[in-house]
Chain A
Amino acid sequence: MKEIISCIFTFLFLLTQNLLFAQSSHDQFMRSNGKIYVVIGVLISIFIGLVLFMIFMERRLKKLEKELNENG
């Protein structure tokens, strides 16, 4: 499970890097001469942060469920 999650994140990270930063030299990509990709990068990093927090909360909940199952 952990491997899958880390794989997905690595993929997403590489994808965003490629999409947003490699393209910055071309003028076609989303008004990129105006640095709009910086705003997209900021929004994506906020989103990733919120997702990581969700995972953190889910793990706490899972521990709780385990405890409940063991105690009957």
Chain B
Amino acid sequence: MKHWWKILGIFLMIYSIVAGIGIPLKPGIYDASPSKANTGEQFTMNAVGYLTQFDKTPDDLRAWLKVGNDFAIAANSIGVKNESTLNVSFQIPNNLPTKDRVVDASLIIDSKKNGYAIFPSAVFITNTTQQTSPEGWNNSIADMHEFKSMAFPYRNILQETIRNLFYHVPLWFGMMIIFLISAINSGRFLMTKNQKFDHKASAYASVGTLFGILGLVTGAIWAKHTWGAYWSWDIKQNMSAIAMLVYLAYFVLRNSFEESEQSARIGAVYNIFAFVTLPMLLFVIPRLTDSLHPGNGGNPGFGGEDLDNNMRMVFYPAIIGFTLFGAWMATILYRIEDVKQRIEDRAFYE
């Protein structure tokens, strides 16, 4: 079976699309208002859930406001309006547990059916008495429920776009692997002087550039709905665009020679040199300055809680699938170039 890897690539791509779109998110809190409260008041807030089923188990609902890691107050009444809306009331103590004038509290809602959900910085509580005491604040958060069925984590700004991790990130991983194959083929060309390897290197470089440009486009779409603009001149975006310029320069260089042996040789040298600078552009420099992108400028990467085991089961196959699919495209492009070379050779000898 010669074509097994192509079938595997297609299968993994279909799997990553079906599973990546089909598996639901965990229930989460979408919105909470009002977002300002004072100490000592009876505070009622309206919480809107996402994919929640509050009306199924109204008696099992519990809610807290949490300040820092150690202090929390439990809700004194919870009213269910419909499947996704709750009225939660808290008696906020007279004093704040910390010295700050204003603290931000996270809203935590736990239910047997939905598991627990956290809405970070839901309320800003202003200390009206200017006194600090932990009285009334305790940490009674315990016996949390987990969401039982298979689901991806809910993150507040990301929401459903957390699924883009299966389509945007594998493009970049696939691009790196494909550029690596391209550079290896350039090295083999320099060793053997066999034109075949140069055609392979240029075909893989074309597919890698396609993946990179698609990575930029998908990243821009994702950024529009999470960072607020298609292009926010973020260092990661800029450096990725420059990395694409490096490879566009490779194609310009190849086309600027008439003799094919010279074009292949110098192209191969530049290709290897370009591949070495690629990790600096994509991974080293974005770490130096502030960036919105995960994994750069002090931001944590996707990992830990954001990339849970359910996501890994789609994410890694997606990387393999995209890479194999890219390799298939590159193979077809290489074969076209190879046939062209053979036709030219035959015409030359005749």
> Which residues of chain A have a CB within 8 Å of any CB of chain B?
31, 33-36, 38-39, 41-43, 45-46, 49-50, 53, 57, 60-61, 64, 67-68, 71
Contacts and interface: CB of A to CB of B under 8 A. Distances in A.
Interface residues of B, number: 34
Given A45-B217, A49-B214, A71-B343, A35 B160 contact: yes
Contacts of B159: 34-35
B217 to A, nearest CB: 5
Contacts of A45: 214, 217-218, 221
Contact of A61 (B50, B160, B161, B336): B336
A46 B336 contact: no
Contacts of B340: 60, 64, 67
B333 A39 contact: no
22 contacts: A33-B30, A34-B160, A35-B160, A38-B222, A38-B224, A38-B225, A39-B163, A39-B164, A39-B167, A42-B167, A42-B168, A42-B222, A43-B167, A45-B218, A46-B167, A46-B171, A46-B218, A49-B210, A53-B329, A57-B329, A57-B332, A57-B336
B284 interface: no
A67 B50 CA distance: 60
A38 B214 contact: no
B142 interface: no
B339 A35 contact: no
A36 B154 CA distance: 13
B160 A53 contact: no
A41 B221 CA distance: 7
Contacts of B158: 35
B147 to A, nearest CB: 16
